[in-house]
Amino acid sequence: MTATNPDSSFTFFSQGALIQEFRVAGHNIVQNFPEAKFYSTHNDAYLGETIGRTTNRVKGAKLENLNGQSYQLAANDGENPNSLHGGARGWGKQDFEGPKPVNRNGKEGVQFRYVSKDGEEGYPGTVECLVWYTAGVEDGKTVLEVEYQVEFIGDECDETVVGVTNHSYFHVNPGATTTEGTVVTLGTNKYLELDAHQIPTGQITTFPSVPPAGKAFILGATEPAIDDCFVIDTDAPSSCPLDTRMQLLRHVATISHPDSGLHLEIQSTEPAFQFYTGDGLYIPEVETDKGVKVLVRGKRSGIAIEPSRYVDCAGREAWRGMCRLKRGQIWGAKSMYRAWKE
């Protein structure tokens, strides 16, 4: 799918409704694999995937007091006893229907669809997920709008939990092996304080090495090392609607690099976002059908920026209103990506 200029284009794969290429001024700014098959065999890093049925972590891989009972989820968070990114085979590992060409809000786009059955990865209730990608050019900038909708279509129970985001790793200096020198501006420096198992303590505080909103900082070779959920809306547990798409888009992050002149700005209707500097990132070497080798990409070779609800909102009763979906209800979210070269 192009955004008017062939140097600015996007490629999507049906597995995980994932973003395989995000090309700006001839440069791809997302880490990827060259062929679809590698996403089934080598993508432990979730490159480009649509994450669901929930995002991020669920404490102890268990849902308590949902439909009056408990549900055991897959514990797939390494040494931590949590469920991560929807489980061992979350939505990013599933084949979606699509891409189906659409015209949405006056823009060229594609739609993907996936039905997640009751009991998949331990989650109750059958839900339908729709993902729309629409592309365009605004003021000389390549624009990708991503919209998610999840509807509870089953009758197996009264309620479930959902959350969807994209897990692309961005690299705005594609000629380099790491993101060192990337200039970052975040929409907030408030974050969810974590315990030893990467689960929020419930406290929202200031991240020590990130300046206030609107102030830039630079990624070094090893510091700052960040893998945390930043909070745009500190009142979200009481005020966040189930479908945020009618909310105003708010600044999440802007990243750029002086060597490439490439810039990426992300906005979202979501109340929080995960920002990960990729210190544990490992993308294995692969060889294409034509014998072309793509070398290993290691730590800090990409930055993940994932708009979302709060971490563990599915598992924490006080926060569950952000993600509890009842029969007939719709959950929704929207994000906007603007990229350009100066």
Q: Report how far apart, in Å, the C-alpha atoms of 87 and of each of 77, 83, 313, 315 are.
A: 9, 6, 15, 14
Rounded CA gap, 120 and 337, in Å? 31
Task: Tell me the β-bridge partners of 164.
Answer: none
Rounded CA gap, 173 and 257, in Å? 6
DSSP letter for 198, please.
Answer: S
DSSP letter for 80, please.
Answer: B
- Can 167 be counted among the known catalytic residues? yes
Please pick, among 27, 167, 171, 263, the residue that the annotation labels catalytic. Answer: 167
Task: Report yes or no: 301 and 278 within 8 Å, Cβ to Cβ.
Answer: yes
Hey, what are 92's tokens?
A: 């990013």
Task: Tell me the β-bridge partners of 317.
Answer: none
Task: Report yes or no: 154 and 118 within 8 Å, Cβ to Cβ.
Answer: yes
Task: Report yes or no: 12 and 112 within 8 Å, Cβ to Cβ.
Answer: yes
Rounded CA gap, 332 and 59, in Å? 23
Rounded CA gap, 28 and 10, in Å? 9
Pair type for strands 262-268 and 330-341: antiparallel
Rounded CA gap, 211 and 258, in Å? 20
Largest CA distance in the chain: 56
DSSP letter for 238, please.
Answer: H
Active-site amino acid positions: 167
